[in-house]
Homo-oligomer: A and B are copies of this chain.
Amino acid sequence: MKKKPIVNCTEICQVRIQAINDAMSVLSGKWKFHILGTLIEGDKLGFMDLMREIEGIGTKMLSKELQDLEMNQLITRTVMNTKPVTVQYAITKHGKTLEPIIKELAKWGAAYRDSMTAS
């Protein structure tokens, strides 16, 4: 009995897969959510501010991820002409659209931890 061809993926399914891939390509990596979450909370942070807030991240990763996020227009980077040059990172309007996702994710993570420690 011949089975339907390999490609019987429904269209809504295809669309969802592509959408999730798009989102993940921008948000992949260990640190993006943390950086975005931090910048959503406290706007205008410097490089060292972020280092202090995001426990565990190193300078290389932070700088690389910041570049990624800037390239994708989720954050902005402005160099201030102060005496020791400082830089301000801030979330963009576009980046703010991620707030619900990050909030949900954090909420779910906390609930998950509770449910695990309970059992």
Please give me the residue from chain B that is nearest to A108 by CB atom: B23
A13 x B30 contact (CB < 8 A): no
Q: Which residues of B contact A110 (CB under 8 A)?
A: 15, 19, 22
B97 x A108 contact (CB < 8 A): yes
Q: A50-76: contact bitstring with B at CB < 8 Å (1 yes, 0 no)?
A: 001111000000000000000000000
Please give me the residue from chain B that is nearest to A13 by CB atom: B53
Q: Which of B24, B102, B112, B115 contacts A30 (CB 8 A)?
A: B24
B109 x A23 contact (CB < 8 A): yes
Beyond A13-B41, A101-B105, A104-B104, whether A52 also contacts B19 by CB under 8 A is no
B104 x A8 contact (CB < 8 A): no
- 26 residue pairs of the A-B complex, CB under 8 angstroms, read A7-B52, A8-B52, A9-B52, A9-B53, A13-B38, A13-B41, A13-B53, A15-B110, A17-B34, A17-B37, A19-B105, A19-B113, A20-B102, A20-B105, A20-B109, A22-B110, A22-B112, A23-B106, A23-B108, A23-B109, A24-B33, A24-B109, A94-B115, A100-B104, A101-B101, A101-B108
